[in-house]
């Protein structure tokens, strides 16, 4: 049944069928003039003769000789932006074309929503023409387009011609980054400085007077008893700020939740780089991790290009997660899987390494998580599209 339908559709698009339609129109006009007779009948016949000739002209015109070029006005595209596309057509022989329509189909390589763009020109007479259209609210992805579909016909719609002009292109739509924040404190440079002081408690360097911001576990009780004043341990600071960022997703995540996780990961990496960290980013089970350092512009170019085409199938899964035991690094885990929290908490406690987990979830799963008793593990929740207000687990 389907084979017969496909054959029928192919026959309708064939040159023989198109010629038959033209001849049928011409024959109908001639028969009408012969039987009607008189001035009115022959006037209608001769009045429709130009349209018949124009149909033959469209049938034999070498549309394949038309050159097509495509240009995107934006240098960089981020999720949610509007893409402005301009199509330039150029032909060797000028001819009158009516109702010229061009169509682009942007297909994400990683799967997902296919975007179609259309532009219409009522009349094209010169050798070149420019048509423009816009695609609002672009979704993150690596988009490819291989051809331009050009359609034209007569002014009455009796006959139309559709051709495909080769015009390949690839465009990346990057994840949109946002500032991150914890209510009441912010998650910026000052908060990261506190994390640096906490990340490695094994490099003891001496003692110093107790400060209000010190943790109780840092108190040196022997020195406090001997001097009769609060004394805290002093740890050797790290010269280089290093962080490990891992993104873990589930295959059953909704598209909206997965996109939020990707955007959150890119936002976190951007904040760390701008704060002066060297970042080791792992986001895929197949691609090699990225080592990012230096200027934020240069580093984020690599992050955006790597994560633009990330799909749920290619994202790192919980079974493939391997956390680094390097105590010189702060561990950051961004995930959509709540079951990962106990695993990361246990690793942080056993390795005595600071691990911070950001769970990207909806509000329904918020109350199922409990705060960790380990001083080496922290859990924050992101339950909406804005990342500037994070929630502490259990709070």
Q: What's the pLDDT band for 199 if we cut at 50, 70, 90?
A: very low
344 lies in the same domain as 196: yes
* Share above pLDDT 90 across residues of the chain, in percent, rounded to a whole number: 25
Alpha helices in the chain (DSSP H): 2-12, 15-36, 38-60, 189-198, 221-227, 255-274, 296-308, 340-351
308 lies in the same domain as 386: yes
C-beta neighbour count of 104 within 10 angstroms = 22
- Mean pLDDT over each residue of the chain, to the nearest integer: 81
Adjacent-strand bridge partners of 69: 88
46 lies in the same domain as 115: no
Give the C-alpha distances (Å, rounded to integers) separating 333 from 100, 182, 239, 330. Answer: 52, 16, 23, 10
Q: Tokens representing 86?
A: 């301009």
Residue 217 lies in a domain: no
Answer yes or no: are the C-beta atoms of 69 and 25 closer than 8 Å: no
Q: Tokens representing 151?
A: 């359609």
Query: Count of domains in the chain?
Result: 3
Residue 85 lies in a domain: yes
- Global confidence as pTM: 0.76
Axis-axis angle for helices 15-36, 2-12 (nearest 10): 60
Residues whose CB falls within 8 Å of the CB of residue 235, separated by 6 or more in sequence, listed in order: 197, 200, 201, 202, 203, 204, 205
Q: What's the pLDDT band for 14 if we cut at 50, 70, 90?
A: low
* Share above pLDDT 70 across residues of the chain, in percent, rounded to a whole number: 82
Residue 232 lies in a domain: no
Q: What's the pLDDT band for 354 if we cut at 50, 70, 90?
A: confident
pLDDT by residue (tens digit) across 128-155? 999 999 999 999 999 988 899 999 988 7
pLDDT by residue (tens digit) across 78-117? 999 999 999 999 998 888 898 899 999 888 877 777 888 9
pLDDT by residue (tens digit) across 233-277? 766 555 567 889 999 999 888 989 999 999 999 999 998 888 888
DSSP notation for 128-196? EEEEEEEE-SPPSEEEEEEEEEEEEE-TTSS-EEEEEEEEEEEEEEEPPP-----TTT-SSHHHHHHHH
Residue range 57-70: average pLDDT? 89
Residue 221 lies in a domain: no
HSE of 270 in the Cβ direction (CA atoms, 13 Å)? Answer: 19
Q: Tokens representing 46?
A: 């001769």
Nearest to 90 by CA among 64, 127, 132: 127
Axis-axis angle for helices 15-36, 38-60 (nearest 10): 170
Which pLDDT belongs to residue 369? Answer: 62
For residue 366, pLDDT beyond 70:
no
255 lies in the same domain as 378: yes
Q: Tokens representing 178?
A: 């946002």
| Pairwise CA distance, residues 165 & 69, whole Å | 10
Please, which contacts does 193-199 make with residues 24 or more away whose CB atoms are closer than 8 Å?
Answer: 195/330, 195/354, 195/356, 196/237, 196/238, 196/241, 196/330, 197/235, 197/237, 198/354, 198/375, 199/238, 199/327, 199/329, 199/330, 199/353, 199/354
273 lies in the same domain as 164: no
273 lies in the same domain as 320: yes
85 lies in the same domain as 139: yes
Residue range 160-179: average pLDDT? 90
71 lies in the same domain as 133: yes
Nearest to 289 by CA among 244, 329, 328: 244
107 lies in the same domain as 90: yes
Residue 323 lies in a domain: yes
For residue 54, pLDDT beyond 80:
yes
Domain boundary at 23, 41, 60, which? 60
Which pLDDT belongs to residue 263? Answer: 94
Q: What's the pLDDT band for 204 if we cut at 50, 70, 90?
A: low
For residue 187, pLDDT beyond 80:
no
For residue 183, pLDDT beyond 50:
no
Domain assignment of residue 387, given as a range? 189-200+238-392
Residue range 51-73: average pLDDT? 87
For residue 124, pLDDT beyond 50:
yes
Which pLDDT belongs to residue 262? Answer: 94
For residue 207, pLDDT beyond 60:
yes
For residue 191, pLDDT beyond 60:
no
27 lies in the same domain as 115: no
Which pLDDT belongs to residue 135? Answer: 93
Which pLDDT belongs to residue 367? Answer: 47
Residue 208 lies in a domain: no
Nearest to 265 by CA among 298, 313, 300, 240: 300
Q: What's the pLDDT band for 200 if we cut at 50, 70, 90?
A: very low
pLDDT greater at residue 81 or residue 376: 81
CATH of the domain at 83: 2.60.40.3880
Taking only Cα atoms into account, the Rg of the chain, rounded to an integer number of angstroms, comes to 33
Secondary structure letter of residue 50 according to DSSP: H
Residue 206 lies in a domain: no
Residue 5 lies in a domain: no
319 lies in the same domain as 387: yes
Task: Give the torsion through C-alpha atoms of 249, 254, 260, 262, to 10 deg.
Answer: 40
280 lies in the same domain as 162: no
């Amino acid at each position: 049944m389907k084979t017969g339908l496909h054959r029928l559709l192919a026959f309708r698009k064939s040159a023989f069928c198109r010629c038959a339609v033209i001849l049928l129109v011409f024959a109908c006009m001639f028969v009408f003039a012969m039987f009607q007779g008189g001035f009115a009948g022959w006037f209608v016949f001769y009045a429709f003769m130009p349209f018949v000739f124009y149909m033959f002209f469209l049938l034999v015109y070498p549309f394949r000789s038309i050159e097509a070029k495509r240009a995107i006005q934006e240098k960089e595209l981020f999720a949610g932006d509007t893409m402005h596309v301009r199509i330039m057509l150029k032909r060797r022989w000028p001819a009158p074309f009516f109702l010229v329509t061009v169509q682009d189909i942007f297909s994400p390589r990683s799967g997902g929503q296919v975007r179609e763009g259309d532009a219409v020109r009522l009349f094209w007479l010169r050798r070149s023409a420019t048509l423009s259209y816009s695609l609002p609210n672009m979704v993150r992805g690596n988009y490819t387009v291989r051809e331009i579909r050009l359609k034209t016909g007569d002014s009455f719609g009796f006959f139309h011609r559709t051709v495909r002009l080769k015009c390949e292109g690839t465009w990346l739509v990057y994840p949109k980054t946002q500032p991150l924040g914890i209510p009441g404190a912010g998650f910026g440079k000052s908060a990261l400085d506190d994390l640096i002081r906490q990340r490695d408690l094994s490099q003891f360097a001496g003692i110093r007077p107790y400060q209000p911001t010190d943790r109780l576990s840092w108190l040196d009780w022997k020195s406090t008893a001997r001097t009769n004043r609060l004394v805290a341990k002093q740890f050797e600071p790290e010269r280089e700020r290093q962080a490990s960022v891992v993104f873990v997703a589930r295959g059953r995540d909704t598209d909206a939740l997965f996109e939020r996780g990707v955007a959150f990961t890119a936002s976190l990496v951007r904040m760390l780089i701008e704060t002066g960290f060297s970042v080791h980013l792992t986001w895929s089970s197949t691609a090699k991790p990225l080592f990012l350092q230096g200027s934020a512009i240069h580093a984020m170019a690599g992050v955006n290009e790597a994560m633009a085409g990330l799909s749920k199938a290619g994202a790192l899964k919980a079974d493939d997660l391997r956390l680094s035991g390097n105590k010189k690094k702060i561990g950051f885990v961004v995930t959509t899987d709540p079951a990962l929290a106990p695993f990361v908490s246990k690793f942080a406690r056993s390795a005595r390494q600071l691990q911070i987990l950001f769970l990207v979830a909806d509000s329904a799963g918020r109350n199922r998580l409990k705060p960790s008793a380990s001083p080496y593990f922290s859990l924050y929740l992101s339950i909406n599209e804005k990342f500037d207000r994070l929630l502490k687990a259990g709070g």
